[in-house]
Structure 1
């Protein structure tokens, strides 16, 4: 996953790791839990190694992304606009509990509050899925 100095934001969630992992890799979910993501244009709904697409920021700007790190069912990282961005990790803490971590590049400590908000939203979606 991302190298170098990193900041970490993490949260324990009362849901199976597989449920949270699915939220993290489903591009249709990103706008629901990611405060900085308005929309996603991707050739696949579920991301995987090397996938490329575009993400629309909250400010309306479209930026290219590429999945650059991949550990199946556990972690992924990406570049956005050609710049290394957050890493995403899920660790099972038991059958119905996991820890989700965002690895934030050292140059972006200002992004920590955004990641905290995303973790709250992921927890809400994992523990109270929307109907349908």
Structure 2
């Protein structure tokens, strides 16, 4: 069960990431890190938590170099994606969407029963941060339900 308000559990700030300075939108989740990682890497759940994704064509689970297409919600256009970095041990992956560097996705373990889920947004795409902020409660619900 989620504790506290979503706003109190979500934080946005500029951080240094492996891809340089990015706007990081993150939230604490009351679930083990592997449960949140499973939500982020299972493409079948992306439309359930991603406000900008209405459907996915590609593998059921991403991995290194995975490719496919996402359907943009509200627009209906299909655009290609490619996973450009994938580190299961660090629980971090990045991708390009329509050949443009897009968000990084990360899970930080905080003990056995909590984690932090973060989107790493390129600074040029800072206007996308509210979309990420809106996705985090849905990711938390899915991870907490699975735990």
Computed over aligned residues only, the root mean square deviation of the Cα atoms, in angstroms, reads: 1.2
2:44 equivalent to 1:46: no
Aligned twin of 2:130: 113
Aligned twin of 2:6: none
Count the aligned residue pairs. 128
4+ residue stretches of structure 1 with deviation over 6 A?
none
Give how far 1:2 is off.
5.8
Unaligned runs of 5+ in 2: 1-16
Report 1 or 2 for greater relative contact order, CA contacts < 8 Å, sequence distance ≥ 6. Answer: 1
Aligned twin of 2:114: 97
Which one of 33, 46, 62 corresponds to residue 30 of structure 1? 46
Structure 2 length-normalised TM: 0.83
Q: Residue 87 and residue 125 in structure 1: after superposition, are their counterparts in 2 closer, same or farther (change >3 A)?
A: same
Name the one with the larger helix percent. Answer: 2
Aligned twin of 2:93: 76
Cα distance in 2 for residues equivalent to 1:28 and 1:12? 23
Cα offsets for 1:20-46 (capped at 9, x unmatched): 00000000000000000000000x211
Give how far 1:103 is off.
0.1
- Does the 8 A contact of 2:35 with 2:144 survive in 1? no
Cα distance in 2 for residues equivalent to 1:78 and 1:97? 25
- Does the 8 A contact of 1:40 with 1:56 survive in 2? yes
